[in-house]
Structure formats: C-alpha cells, structure tokens
A and B are shown apart, each in its own frame.
Chain A
Amino acid sequence: QKEVEQDPGPLSVPEGAIVSLNCTYSNSAFQYFMWYRQYSRKGPELLMYTYSSGNKEDGRFTAQVDKSSKYISLFIRDSQPSDSATYLCAMTGPTDKLIFGTGTRLQVFP
C-alpha cells in the first residue's frame, strides 16, 4: 500500500463547476498537508498549505484535512479554464521530507 493515494483522473468539468480533489494516506505521523499545482512542462507550485486538521480558505480554493479519516481534500469553486493542470497532494510529518500523491489531472472546458 502506498503512503499516499490519489486518483489520477483525468477529471473533466465545465467552467464554473465546483471541483473536489482528494487524497488518502496511511501514515498517522503526517502533520503538514499541501496541495501543489503543476502546469504542463512546469515545476509544481504550492497552492495551499494546512497544518493538522481543519479547513483553510484562499479565494476560490478551500483545503480540508480530516486526520481521523486520514483524508484530505481540495475544493475549487467557480473553476476556470486556467485551473486546468495536475494537482498534487503532498504531506510530511516531523521531518521536511515530502511524500507526494500521483497527481490528479484536471481539465476545465469553456
């Protein structure tokens, strides 16, 4: 079993839709949870960062962490074609060693 599981998609939605992206994990030592966005032929860029459980909102993006279920989510409201990218969840525990999911490819069509 992988430490971090993520559905690779692809996920195709119309512009304006609410998108839900998810990851599950097995290591209960993970405390820091990130979402990275990766455009084609670019490096990942940090989108959202959450420590421990709870919600965090930034504009159209909301990150949720449920440590009891070992489940994290990223919601994108009013999705735009410019949101089309691969979304990678990543997490780490007491150290700074990031463990990434496989990434979910999202396509938002006009």
Chain B
Amino acid sequence: EAGVAQSPRYKIIEKRQSVAFWCNPISGHATLYWYQQILGQGPKLLIQFQNNGVVDDSQLPKDRFSAERLKGVDSTLKIQPAKLEDSAVYLCASSLDRSPADTQYFGPGTRLTVL
C-alpha cells in the first residue's frame, strides 16, 4: 500500500513570497490533515478535511494560509505572504475516517525555510 505522498520535500523562499505544498493521501482515506511542526516541537494541527469539506481550521492563520481538497483526494496548502516564523516542516496525514481509533498516517513532510 502506497503511503502519503508530499511535494516538494524542501523549499526555500524569501519573506513575503508565496509557496504551495501538495499532498496525496492514502487511497480510500476520507480524512486528511495538515500539521505544522516547528523545530523542537510536536506537530500542531492546522486544518482537517473530511472528504472535501473542512472539519477544523481553528488553528489555521487564515490571513495568510489557505488550503483546499478538491474532489476529496489531493490537497494543497498555500502560504501568502510568508513570514520568517512560518519556517517549519509541513506534514500531511490521512486516516480512514474521523474516529479517534483510526490511525493517522503521515507523509515525509515539506521542510520550508523562509529567509
């Protein structure tokens, strides 16, 4: 079974530029998550999708971050404009459904450096 795919793996941009990350979840997984992991910290949930609808985006900085999941499969996360404090690893995860007992499978992440 293929895992969660993410691209690009690394991205370096200057502050005020925009950037987009792509995620392809495990086939058949209805729930998709985007996490931000700052160096030395645990992942923090940014947004959660159930199929193509948003379930939770309470911690998403909506003035600069946006995300979509078209057709309930792939997802993109965008930052515009980027700030220095956005430097982090952006992890995508997917699970079969929304039950707490469903395992969340993580992708390898995209490491973003904002200069």
> Residues of A with Cβ closer than 8 Å to B?
4, 6, 8, 31-32, 36, 41-46, 49, 51, 88, 90, 92-98, 100-103
Contacts and interface: CB of A to CB of B under 8 A. Distances in A.
B18 to A, nearest CB: 24
B109 A43 contact: yes
Interface in B60-115: 91, 93, 95, 98-109, 111
A97 B99 CA distance: 10
A8 B101 CA distance: 26
**Per DSSP, are chain A's interface residues mostly helix, strand or loop, or mixed?**
loop
B41 A43 contact: no
B24 interface: no
A98 B103 CA distance: 11
Interface of B: 4, 31, 40-45, 48, 56, 91, 93, 95, 98-109, 111
Leading 10 A-B pairs by shortest Cβ distance: A100-B42, A43-B106, A32-B100, A96-B100, A92-B100, A96-B98, A44-B106, A43-B108, A100-B43, A46-B103
B4 A31 contact: no
12 contacts: A4-B42, A42-B108, A43-B91, A46-B104, A49-B101, A90-B42, A92-B100, A93-B100, A97-B45, A98-B43, A100-B43, A102-B40
Contacts of B42: 4, 6, 88, 90, 100-103
Nearest to A88: B42
A96 B48 CA distance: 10
Nearest to A36: B106
Given A44-B106, A96-B98, A100-B44, 8 more contacts: A4-B42, A41-B111, A43-B4, A43-B109, A46-B105, A94-B100, A96-B31, A96-B100
